[in-house]
Amino acid sequence: MRQSLQPSRSPADYDFVHRVRTRFAETDAMGIIHHAAYLPYLEEARVEYLRSIGHPYDVVRSGGVDVAVLEAAVQYRKPLRFDDEVDVSLGVGAVTRTTFQIAYLL
Amino acid sequence: MRQSLQPSRSPADYDFVHRVRTRFAETDAMGIIHHAAYLPYLEEARVEYLRSIGHPYDVVRSGGVDVAVLEAAVQYRKPLRFDDEVDVSLGVGAVTRTTFQIAYLL
Amino acid sequence: MRQSLQPSRSPADYDFVHRVRTRFAETDAMGIIHHAAYLPYLEEARVEYLRSIGHPYDVVRSGGVDVAVLEAAVQYRKPLRFDDEVDVSLGVGAVTRTTFQIAYLL
Amino acid sequence: MRQSLQPSRSPADYDFVHRVRTRFAETDAMGIIHHAAYLPYLEEARVEYLRSIGHPYDVVRSGGVDVAVLEAAVQYRKPLRFDDEVDVSLGVGAVTRTTFQIAYLL
């Protein structure tokens, strides 16, 4: 993997916070939020972050720029459960001419 | 709703059968397959049916025809669980110039 | 189907409103929100409605009551797109001793 | 991340292959398979692998063992599209007393 960003565990190190509430549809038979459901949480936080800095993602896209996800790496530290409200902290780093990395902390 | 087709409960009344296996990602905290996960099963069966009659859906789409779902109605008769294999029976009916209805039996 | 409730098209006829914002993960290759993604929106609205009347769903569930979806019927009147904010209106009706129906209007 | 396994790019290096076909519900408005949809593909391959070695996952679970995903890392090398059939190669490695890692190649 080319991923180089090491997400800090301190929320204070992040630029932006977006709160999500987990859905029942995202739970699994272990009674927790299924691990695949986190990537849409991160995406939702990313979209809100872009809006907050004046670059709504639909405007970005209608301008002809699609932002493809090249890599994703998640460490599941503790389970989320149904109806949990959780703050997704987000910080941008490791910017190159064609790529950037975003660190998230839940 | 404009839905008029009454799905038969007899598999023999259907034109086509497609088997799906449920995924763990589709379960929920009640330990059953989440009710929203059924619509992709029906869609998968529909795609296989179209392929079986010589109309692969990606060819249909690249020909400029998008088939939008106008209505969906599901009656959940008994729960599915993780790793269940289930036959989706499918039959087409109520065809008009611009719409058609498909009945499914799981 | 045993469904008897006819959802009104007038938001004023509903008891509760919950706003959702569509996610990019919920779009499909037709550029619209996939039809299966609506059921989690309705579920999210239902959970918020139960909270608003003092019956948070996780408390209901931990009390031993699971509310299973027996039927779902959706009429897709106009497509939703990525990043749309939409009000989900909700009203309860057709209550029996063991079942109830909820009408939604988006 | 504690992830140490480096997935080989040669299918011959893997123990098991499971074929999946992408669903329309898994596409997004960029016309490709959404990046979050890959994790259920990997999970489905994992379930089939466990079955192939005589440990069906539902039996494992009913024996009281839940296998939680602790980390997931994905590198998206080329986009998948609707209706693609793709072989998921799978190999187990880095086994400890309480954890193991699985490498996948699509």
Please give the residue of chain A at the shortest CA–CA distance from D78. Answer: A70
Contacts of C24 in chain D (CB under 8 A): 28-29, 34
Nearest alpha-carbon partner for A33 in A69, A89, A73, A77: A77
DSSP for D13-78, written as a single string: G-SEEEEEE--GGGB-TTSSB-GGGHHHHHHHHHHHHHHHTT--HHHHHHTT------EEEEE--S
Classify strands D85-93 and B71-75 as parallel, antiparallel or unpaired: unpaired
Question: Is C95 buried (19+), middle (13-18) or exposed (0-12) by CB count in 10 A?
Answer: exposed
* Contact assessment for residue D91 and residue D14, using Cβ atoms and an 8 Å cutoff: yes
Q: What's the pLDDT at C94?
A: 83
**CA A89, CA A106: separation in Å to the nearest integer?**
6
Identity of the residue in D25, D34, D82 whose CB atom sits nearest the CB atom of C36:
D25
Neighbours of chain B (3+ CB pairs under 8 A): A, C, D
- The H-or-E segment that residue B45 falls in is helix B38-52
Q: Is C28 noted as a catalytic residue in this protein?
A: yes
Neighbours of chain D (3+ CB pairs under 8 A): A, B, C
3-class secondary-structure state, position C48: helix
Mean pLDDT confidence for A2-19: 91
Q: For residue A104, is pLDDT > 90?
A: yes
Nearest alpha-carbon partner for D99 in A94, C60, A76: A76
Residue C36 contacts B where some CB pair is shorter than 8 Å: yes
The proportion of chain B whose per-residue pLDDT surpasses 70, expressed as a percent, equals 98
Q: What's the pLDDT at C36?
A: 98
For the entire predicted model, the pTM comes to 0.95
Classify strands B71-75 and C71-75 as parallel, antiparallel or unpaired: antiparallel
Mean pLDDT confidence for A27-41: 97
CB contact under 8 A, A73 and D40: no
ipTM of the complex: 0.93
For B86-98, the pLDDT digits (tens) are 999 999 988 888 8
Q: What's the pLDDT at D3?
A: 77
For C19-48, the pLDDT digits (tens) are 999 999 999 999 999 999 999 999 999 999
**CA B56, CA C51: separation in Å to the nearest integer?**
45
Catalytic residue among C13, C28, C58, C84: C28
